[in-house]
Amino acid sequence: MEKILVGLKRVVDYNVRVRVKSDGTGVETDGVKMSINPFDEIALEEALRIKDRGDASEVIVISVGSTDAQQQLRTGLAMGADRAILVEAGGGLDPLSVARIFKAIVDRDAIDLVLLGKQAIDNDNSQTGQMLAAIWGRPQATFASHLAVNGGTVTVTREVDAGLEIVEVDLPAVITVDLRLNEPRYVKLPDIMKAKKKPLEQISLAAMGIEPGPAIKVLDFEPPAERARGVMVKDVTGLVAALKDKGLL
């Protein structure tokens, strides 16, 4: 296997409490810490481990969005990726458009394996990897909790409702990863400095000849309702009575 492509999405950091804008038009991002989508960071860590074992020669990271995503790509380069690609596009791209962008890069750079997070924590779609595999016409394995590269195949342990399932896919392939696959490495200052010298290619969506599909438009945002105060009961009888009052029994 020569090349691994890893998608990195810029999202609000998972440690930040998400706040809805006062006018209900979206999520507040001004002054908010942005990071790599946690599932994508795990995908990158696995790609780097595959390369460290000698099963791949190059790891490429890609992001689709505004120029601000360079920050997350530079972090990916500092973790150990060899080069980065930023496809400049407006917000609101649907998963199919992102999959088509990835497919164009896969064809251009002769990618052998695409590793993606199973979903993004901002929209939870869990669609891009599956759509990419469909339009590429290659095998896919989703929700991977363990990977083993065996020459031209990859054995994937995936988490399903009933437990664990083991599948084998031929390369090239698309694999989406779960949280239990690994723990991403910490980025050190010398690596951050080295990342500034690594290549970061910027491509416009128009230059790729891809017409984005209809943007997904969210009509309204609202925070979840505040949690009601709990009620203390003295015994089981009081609990039953409280549940009946709420119409739960």
pLDDT tens digits, one per residue of 93-123: 888 989 999 999 999 999 999 999 999 988 8
Task: Specify the pTM.
Answer: 0.84
| Residue 93: partners with Cβ closer than 8 Å, 6 or more residues away | 64, 212, 213, 215
For residue 153, the enclosing domain spans 3-245
Backbone angles phi, psi at 134, to 5 degrees: -65, -45
pLDDT tens digits, one per residue of 189-248: 999 999 999 999 999 888 888 877 766 777 778 787 888 778 888 899 889 988 888 888
DSSP state of 213: -
DSSP state of 13: -
Domain count, the chain: 1
- How far apart, in whole angstroms, are the C-alpha atoms of residue 241 and residue 199? 67
pLDDT tens digits, one per residue of 119-148: 998 888 889 999 999 999 999 999 999 999
- How far apart, in whole angstroms, are the C-alpha atoms of residue 118 and residue 14? 16
pLDDT tens digits, one per residue of 28-67: 777 888 899 999 999 999 999 999 999 999 999 999 988 9
Q: Enumerate the H helices of the chain as residue ranges.
A: 38-52, 70-79, 95-109, 128-136, 189-195, 236-245
What CATH number should be reported for the domain holding residue 161?
3.40.50.620
β partners of residue 149: 154
pLDDT tens digits, one per residue of 178-191: 999 999 999 989 99
Mapped onto helix, strand or coil, the DSSP state of residue 15 is: coil
